[in-house]
Structure 1
Amino acid sequence: MNDGSDSRIDYDEVGSGPTVVMVPGSCSTGAAWRPIIAQWTSRFRCVTTSLLGYGGTSEHRTAATADIAQEVEVVETVIGRAGHPVHLVGHSFGGLVALAVALRKPDLLHSLTILEAPAPEILRRCGEDDHYRSFRQMSSAYVSAFQAGQSDAIAAMIDFYGGPGTFAAWPPGVRDYAIATTAANLMDWSCAYGFDLTPALLARISVPVLVAYGELSHPAPQRANELLGRSIPGGRITVIPGAAHFMIATHAREVAQLVAEHIDRTLSASSIEAAAR
């Protein structure tokens, strides 16, 4: 799809039923959601996209101008085409962008699901210095390695999330795509650190929210997502047993069930409210 300028934004949809807009993380495209969509067997109308610099979505950020608001505009454009309100689901950096959408335009959403968003600033704001330092040490080393010409600098970031050996275990094509999109991922990190999340800001979210993270994920993103869920009024927090960060690929059945249950709860609550009017 075209947003009215020369920019392109990935847009695909399949199935029928309540509309679920699914936002992937960094170094990924809408195709990452196929394992989840397959679990639902056309239960939902699933709309997928890609963030800036991935898939067919144009990149118009620069290192100096990168801001999460630019990503929010992509998702808002997709929701506009899909027809709102929608159930918004985001994984990793896509989860952080989805959170920003909920803060900026909550009227676009029926519900929000965040699957282990990289939210280092909530750690800093809540005094979780050790966990915040873990993020900063990883990203600083990653940037330095890339600037020094290390072509696979992104491997250390992937292993931070998935555990040692995760990047090496990926299929060659997946590794190559991650390497090819490193520059975009570095801007994603700039956006994440620039997104000043506070408990007071999160307390403004009014839509039903589910926050999930992996049992085997790094402790820093685990704690960050726990704080997100605790800071959002009525937020639900779920730990996915046996999963690490790349849960939508490794634990598709469990993730699909969690998201579907969250959507069903939201729809049921909406029906009860409508009947009471």
Structure 2
Amino acid sequence: MSNNTEQHTEKNSKNSITAPCYYEQQGSGSPIVFIHGSYATTSTWKKIVQQLASTHHCISIKLPGHCGMPDPDDFTAPNIDTELKIIESVITELTELPIHLIGHSFGGVVALALALKGSVAIQELTLFEPVSTWVFESVGDQAMTQKVNAFIQNYRQGIRNNAPYICGKVIDFWAGEGAFEPLPDFIKDGMEPLTANNNRHWTLCENTDHPRTSLNLLTIPTKLVCGSASNPVAQAIVDHLSNELPNSKQYTIPGASHFLVTSHAIECLNIIGK
């Protein structure tokens, strides 16, 4: 770890003792902020951060209810401002420079929401399979809206029935049928307690209501990335965002599915560096 990083850590160690520390950081240079997805942790970015920390100040956000952080207090009325306020605070504390903001899955939902809010200086935006299902309503894609709604109804019925490993339904939905089963038991067991948080994330996507024009006015250079083997829903989200965001480029990683940032880290790094 560089001396610069050690200075960052020392500077903020006092705050981390008295309040939850919603980030990890490594390296020095221009700042990159990473937001992991639902049922995930900052380890999502481990392979990518290891490569980028030699030239960048890498800041990995810990979402509420994940990575040992407290659960959000808005389960009765979920609001994505809960996430945005945390990230805004972290960015303000750690850097004064424009950031490269990177999100995966639900982290992509949060990253796009922050970009649309316009509250921090974002130099570049990279979204790896953002699960921003709200975009279907914005662009009038009723077929995809119905497909997502059918999954959510089935998933929530499983939650009400206390079905074991209901988290596996979400993994299989995004990464393909059978993706959950081969995961190690310790990973499955770590996911299960996050079900309430994941259900909240679906609610946030359902309740988001950005008009199509808000996407058309977002001029931040944006990279949109999906895998060729991913759920058609994820691919459709990227397709729609690519059509609506005026300064975007779309990338498809052959053979990759939803967990492309870990399974195809080198290819993702190459896209980040373009």
Q: Structure 2-normalised TM-score?
A: 0.89
Indicate the residue corresponding to 1:42 in structure 2: 54
Question: Shift of the alpha carbon at 1:196?
Answer: 1.3
Distance 1:115 1:165 in 2: 21
Kindly indicate whether residue 226 of structure 2 is the aligned counterpart of residue 213 of structure 1: yes
The amino acid that maps onto 2:234 is P
Question: Shift of the alpha carbon at 1:125?
Answer: 2.5
Distance 1:138 1:154 in 2: 13
The amino acid that maps onto 1:245 is H
Kindly indicate whether residue 24 of structure 2 is the aligned counterpart of residue 12 of structure 1: yes
Question: Shift of the alpha carbon at 1:234?
Answer: 1.2
Q: Per the alignment, in what secondary structure is the counterpart of residue 197 of structure 1?
A: coil
Distance 2:38 2:85 in 1: 16
**Which of 113, 118, 121 is 2:131 aligned to?**
118
Q: Per the alignment, in what secondary structure is the counterpart of residue 174 of structure 1?
A: helix
Indicate the residue corresponding to 2:111 in structure 1: 98
Question: Shift of the alpha carbon at 1:107?
Answer: 4.2
Question: Shift of the alpha carbon at 1:144?
Answer: 0.8
Verify the 8 A CA contact 2:26 2:53 in the aligned structure 1: no
The amino acid that maps onto 1:34 is K
Verify the 8 A CA contact 2:88 2:120 in the aligned structure 1: no
Counterparts of 1:15-164 in structure 2 under 5 Å? 15-40=27-52, 42-83=54-95, 84-105=97-118, 107-164=120-177
Q: Per the alignment, in what secondary structure is the counterpart of residue 66 of structure 1?
A: coil
Q: Per the alignment, in what secondary structure is the counterpart of residue 120 of structure 1?
A: coil
Verify the 8 A CA contact 1:71 1:97 in the aligned structure 2: yes
Verify the 8 A CA contact 1:9 1:74 in the aligned structure 2: no
Indicate the residue corresponding to 2:9 in structure 1: none
Root-mean-square deviation over aligned CA pairs: 1.9
Cα deviation digits, residues 195-230 of structure 1 (max 9, x gap): 113321112213111111111111112111211122
Q: Closer, same or farther in 2 for the Cα pair 1:150/1:7, shift >3 Å?
A: farther
Verify the 8 A CA contact 1:142 1:153 in the aligned structure 2: yes
Aligned length: 260
**Which stretch of the first structure deviates more once superposed, 105-114 or 247-256?**
105-114
Cα deviation digits, residues 176-206 of structure 1 (max 9, x gap): 1111111111101111111113321112213
Distance 2:73 2:270 in 1: 35
Q: Per the alignment, in what secondary structure is the counterpart of residue 180 of structure 2?
A: helix
Unaligned runs of 5+ in 1: 262-277
Verify the 8 A CA contact 1:63 1:187 in the aligned structure 2: yes
Distance 1:106 1:234 in 2: 19
Cα deviation digits, residues 63-90 of structure 1 (max 9, x gap): 3221112111121122112213211100
**Which of 240, 243, 263 is 1:250 aligned to?**
263
Question: Shift of the alpha carbon at 1:21?
Answer: 0.5
Question: Shift of the alpha carbon at 1:173?
Answer: 1.6
Verify the 8 A CA contact 1:51 1:57 in the aligned structure 2: yes
Cα deviation digits, residues 12-66 of structure 1 (max 9, x gap): 1111221101000011121210011223362322111211110132222333221
Q: Closer, same or farther in 2 for the Cα pair 1:238/1:3, shift >3 Å?
A: farther
**Which stretch of the first structure deviates more once superposed, 120-129 or 246-255?**
120-129
**Percent of aligned positions that are identical:** 27
Distance 1:211 1:9 in 2: 29
